[in-house]
Structure 1
C-alpha cells in the first residue's frame, strides 16, 4: 500500500455536467456525477500532518458510502446502490470514481457521504478492520451531509485520523556515540480493532496485545521513530524497547493517549533518559532548543472541561479542547512560558473571578509562590501571563487564569499601561476573520546572570525572581492561501511608558535570547522565512 500524503488546503470541486452546445434547450438533462477534493483536518492543531504541503500519491484509493440524508449507515438506507464505491486520485487530491459513479439525487432529495482511506473491497458490516502491526494509516470523513444538486457548491472531503500517533526524537546521551543499528519496539500495545463507519467510533480488541515495530529514520546521531496506536487510558501498559549494540533500554509514556492526537518525546540513550514534550503537536508549545527539558522545570497542560458554554456556531464534536500549557521554573518560581491558542470562543463577559489559588497539576505546591495577598512589594502586580480577559467565556474558565503558576512579578505601571494595551491588541487580532486561530506564547526573560537577580517575596516570605523582560510570540495563518505570519514583542519589566509597537522583535531573535524554539511544528523551510518578520505591516496592524 502506498503511503498517503495530504494537502493542508481545501480543494474546490466544480461539478461537471455534459452540455450539447447546438441544442441546449432540447438536450435531455443527464445525471450529474460527483467528484471530490480532499483535506486533512488538524482538529485544534492536535495532529501533525505526515508531510506538510505534500500531495496524495497516484492511484491512492478511498471508499465512499452514500446514504439518504439523516439516515444511519445501514442496509436499506444506501442511496442508489452507492455502497463502498472506490474513488482514486492521480495524486492531485481530486478523487474520481474508479468504476461506478455516485450521482446527485434528483429533485429535492439529498444524501450524506461517508468516506475512509485506504480502500478495502472486502469491508463488511460497515466496520473497517485495523491491524496496527502493519502500521497502515487510516483516515475517516463524514463532513459532507445534505448534498443535493440544487445546493451544488464545493465537495471537499475532510479527513481525520482517529488513531493516536507517537513520535520519538532520539539522540545519544554520550557525545560521539552512534545510533546506527537502532531498533524500536512497542510492547504491550493493542494491535487489532475496528472502526465503525456508521458511528464514527474506534474500538480496540482488548485481547489483541502484541508488539509493534516502529519505523526508524535519521542519521547516526539523531533518529526519529514513529508509530500509530489505539487510544488508551492506561499508558502504563505500553512499554517501548530501544535496542542498540546488544543493549536494550525500556521506557514507557505517562500520558493518557487520546485519539486524534500526536505525542512527541525526546529520548536520550546510554542510560535511558526521556522527557515528555507536552504533546508538541500543539502548534503553540515551544521546544527547548538544547533538547530534553529546560533546567528545574515542571509542566502542565490545562484542558477545557465542560464545553456546554461554547458558542453553537463553533463545532467541536467529541474533540477535547486545550486551555493553556505552562512550563514553570521551579527554582526561580516564575513561568518560563505560558502557551495558548487565542480564539473568539474563549472570550465573553463572565468577568474576573479573582479566584487566586495553586495550580492543581504542578506539584509539590511548595515550588509555587503563595499569592493570595499579592507580592510583598507594592511595586509589582501579580502579572497574568495568560490574561484573565483572554479566558472569560465562563467563570470556571476564568478561574484557571488565577493559578499562581500563571503569575510573574510585573511592574504595576507596565502591567496596567503598555502591556495591557498589547493584550487588548492580541484579542483584536484573534477576532480578525481573515486568519485562523492565533497561537501565543507569553514568557519571562530573567537577567543574564544570577548576580543581577532581584527577588520579591510571596505571602510565605519566599522569593521569586523579577523578570527583566516579558515577551509575546505570535503566529497565525491566513485562511485565503494558508500563508503563516509571525511577530514578537519584548518589553522591559519597568515603567518605561514605551508602547508595544516600539518593542517589536522577530520570533527568530526571541528564540536566540530565550533558548526555546517557538512554533516547532512549522515546516523548516516555512519557519526560516516566517520567523524573520519584525514588522507590523501588513498582517499585524
Structure 2
C-alpha cells in the first residue's frame, strides 16, 4: 500500500493561495489539503509529546504528524484521544481503537450532558452557549454509541469532542457512516483504528462568542489492523449531503496532506 502523498505541500498551498486571490472557492475534490493544515493560524508550539498517556488509540502508538500550532493540546479520555485546537475551538482529530469486545459492551444509556472540558483554558475552548440558536448540532467525532462504560459515555459529551455539524447531515448520512463503522469493527477479527476530524476553509463561518469554526467537510478514516486495509469516508457538512462510497487512504492523504498512519508509512 502506497502511504505517501503524491502532491508536494508547497504546490498545494500555492494553488490554494492563488484560488483565494482570484476570489475562487477552493476545490475540495482536487485540493482540500490546505484547508486542513493552513487555516489553523498561530505559531508552531513545542514538539508533540506523542499522547504518552494514551498511545493505545494509535497504530503502533504513533499519532499523526500534523504541523504543531499554537494552542494545540493533547487530551486523553477513557475511550478516545483528542488533538484539540484552541484556534478553531474544535478537535484537529479524534482517535479511537474499536473491536468486538468494546462494542459488545457499548450499550450505555446516552448521558446527553454536554460540557466544556475544564482542562482547556477558557480562551481556547467552545462553550455551551456557542451552539445555542446557531443552527448547528454538537456533532460527536468519537460517537456516543461507541462507548462501553458510563465514564466513557459521559466523557464523549465533552465539547472538545464536538464540531458544529449540520443537523440533517449529522442525523442522516453521517450517522449511517458511524453505524457502518461499528458493524465492521464488530465483525473484524482484531482491532480497528478510527480517526475522525473536521476540514476547514480559510475565512469560513464561525458560531458563538468564542468563534467556534464550522467545518466544510468531515472525514473518518478506518484501518483494520488484521487485514491492513484502510479506507476513509469524506462528507460535506451540508444538509443535502449523501453517504457515498469511501475513498482510499491515499486519496485522504492527498486531500489533507497528512499521513494519518505514520507507523505504516515508516514500514513501507
The TM tier, using the shorter chain, reads 0.7 to 0.9
- Give how far 1:372 is off: 6.3
Match of 1:441, SS state, is strand
1:288 matches 2:65: yes
1:439 matches 2:202: no
User: Which residue pairs with 1:418 in the alignment?
Assistant: 173
User: Which residue pairs with 1:83 in the alignment?
Assistant: none
Give matches, 1:242-321, under 5 Å.
274-279=47-52, 282-283=58-59, 286-290=63-67, 293-303=68-78
User: Which residue pairs with 1:340 in the alignment?
Assistant: 96
User: Which residue pairs with 1:166 in the alignment?
Assistant: none
Instruction: Classify 1:477/1:516 alpha carbon distance in 2 versus 1 (closer, same or farther; 3 Å).
Output: same
Match of 1:499 among 238, 243, 254: 243
Give matches, 1:374-523, under 5 Å.
374-378=131-135, 380-391=136-147, 393-433=148-188, 435-447=189-201, 449-450=202-203, 453-457=204-208, 461-478=209-226, 483-501=227-245, 504-522=246-264
- Give how far 1:341 is off: 0.6
**Residues 195-239 of structure 1, C-alpha deviations (whole Å, 9 max, x = no match):** xxxxxxxxxxxxxxxxxxxxxxxxxxxxxxxxxxxxxxxxxxxxx
Q: Which structure's relative contact order is higher, taking Cα pairs within 8 Å and 6+ residues apart?
A: 2
**Aligned counterparts of 1:468 and 1:523: Cα–Cα separation in 2:** 28
Q: Which moves more between the two structures, 281-290 or 393-402?
A: 281-290
Please, what TM-score do these two structures have when normalized by structure 2?
0.74
Match of 1:370 among 124, 127, 134: 127
Instruction: Classify 1:366/1:523 alpha carbon distance in 2 versus 1 (closer, same or farther; 3 Å).
Output: closer
User: Which residue pairs with 2:110 in the alignment?
Assistant: 352
**Aligned counterparts of 1:289 and 1:373: Cα–Cα separation in 2:** 27
**Aligned counterparts of 1:516 and 1:326: Cα–Cα separation in 2:** 16
- Give how far 1:524 is off: 3.2
Instruction: Classify 1:285/1:441 alpha carbon distance in 2 versus 1 (closer, same or farther; 3 Å).
Output: farther
Contact 1:472 1:490 in 2 (8 A): yes
- Give how far 1:275 is off: 3.1
Please, what TM-score do these two structures have when normalized by structure 1?
0.38
Instruction: Classify 1:365/1:462 alpha carbon distance in 2 versus 1 (closer, same or farther; 3 Å).
Output: closer
- Give how far 1:463 is off: 1.5
User: Which residue pairs with 1:330 in the alignment?
Assistant: 86
More strand by share: 1
Contact 2:51 2:63 in 1 (8 A): no
More helix by share: 2
**Aligned counterparts of 1:294 and 1:287: Cα–Cα separation in 2:** 14
Contact 1:421 1:500 in 2 (8 A): no
Match of 1:430, SS state, is helix
Match of 2:264, SS state, is coil
**Aligned counterparts of 1:436 and 1:384: Cα–Cα separation in 2:** 24
User: Which residue pairs with 1:192 in the alignment?
Assistant: none
Runs of at least 4 residues off by over 6 Å: none
**Aligned counterparts of 1:507 and 1:523: Cα–Cα separation in 2:** 11
**Aligned counterparts of 1:286 and 1:274: Cα–Cα separation in 2:** 13
Superposition CA RMSD, Å = 2.2
Aligned length in residues: 217
**Aligned counterparts of 1:442 and 1:525: Cα–Cα separation in 2:** 23
Give matches, 1:221-240, under 5 Å.
none
Structure 1: tracts of 5 or more residues without a match: 1-272, 304-322, 527-541
Structure 2: tracts of 5 or more residues without a match: 1-45
**Residues 325-372 of structure 1, C-alpha deviations (whole Å, 9 max, x = no match):** 111110111111001111233333222001211224x32133111126
Match of 1:517, SS state, is coil
**Aligned counterparts of 2:76 and 2:70: Cα–Cα separation in 1:** 18
**Residues 243-272 of structure 1, C-alpha deviations (whole Å, 9 max, x = no match):** xxxxxxxxxxxxxxxxxxxxxxxxxxxxxx
**Residues 450-491 of structure 1, C-alpha deviations (whole Å, 9 max, x = no match):** 2xx11111xxx321111010000110133xxxx410001110
